[in-house]
A = this chain, B = another copy of it.
Amino acid sequence: MKTDFEHFKHELSLTKAEICRQLYVQHTDMIRIKKEHVAVKNLIRIIDSTLRLASTKGFHAMTLRDLCADSGFSIGGLYAYIRNKNDLLVLIQGHGFMLTRSTLRKSIRDISDPFERLRAAVSAHLFLSEIMLPWFYFSFMEVKSLPKAEMKTAIAVEQEIEDIFFDIIESGVRQGVFRSNNARLLASMIKAMMQDWYLKRRKHRNQSISVSQYADFIIDMLACSLKVSRS
């Protein structure tokens, strides 16, 4: 039998190639390579290496020479795909956020019961971050290094995601299904617990906690905080 997570993974069917193809189309201005299949193939290598290196030593500490050594590119070759180091940051950041937003919205679209909406949103966020772990870690750590404009959008998208949780709680309260005296703060806490999953992934792995267990635990905590009586 398929677990929820496996089901989610299959539904999403998010191949690296697909993501990178979207990235390519969005950024034809900064990428000098014209043939899509060549560009996409190499973007995968570049982004993979960047995420790997940045998550161990940090983006700023990673030099383009490190990146070349890891990805097998030459400096010159790399510069056909980015105009400068910051482009790398923007390239990776923007896409991760877009994906989170759309996945989360889709996950609750067809559900009306407030508690089930909450469960769906929490699971979707956790499952997505599990699949795209390096992306999430990178996004969190590097917001502060973004150019001002990109930082503003990054913060706005994060707020928007928190608002998804907030709206679910609020509407549940209005319907009399939830009891909560501070929906705003509870939404914040949900976000914090989502973050803990990908920021402290190693700790949870050491304690042998699966993403499904983690999701269940959080949903139980929320049920209890919102005083939902459950079967």
Contacts and interface: CB of A to CB of B under 8 A. Distances in A.
Nearest to A184: B207
Interface residues of A, number: 33
Contacts of A60: 58, 60-61
A145 B195 contact: no
A57 B146 CA distance: 9
A105 interface: no
Closest 7 CB pairs of A and B: A192-B196, A60-B60, A60-B61, A224-B224, A185-B217, A192-B192, A221-B225
Taking chain A's interface residues, is the majority helix, strand, or loop, or is none over half, making it mixed?
A: helix
Contacts of A188: 196, 200, 203-204, 207
Interface of A: 56-58, 60-61, 141, 144-145, 159, 182, 184-186, 188-189, 191-193, 195-196, 200, 203-204, 207, 209, 213-214, 217-218, 221, 224-225, 227
How many copies of this chain does the complex contain?
2
Contact of A185 (B61, B209, B227): B209
A184 B206 CA distance: 12
14 contacts: A56-B144, A60-B60, A60-B61, A159-B203, A182-B217, A185-B207, A186-B221, A188-B196, A188-B207, A189-B193, A189-B196, A189-B217, A189-B221, A221-B221
Contacts of A207: 184-185, 188
A97 B144 CA distance: 23
A223 to B, nearest CB: 10
A216 to B, nearest CB: 10
Looking at A57, A141, A186, A189, which has the most chain B CB atoms within 10 Å of its CB? A189
Contacts of A185: 207, 209, 213-214, 217
A58 B144 contact: yes
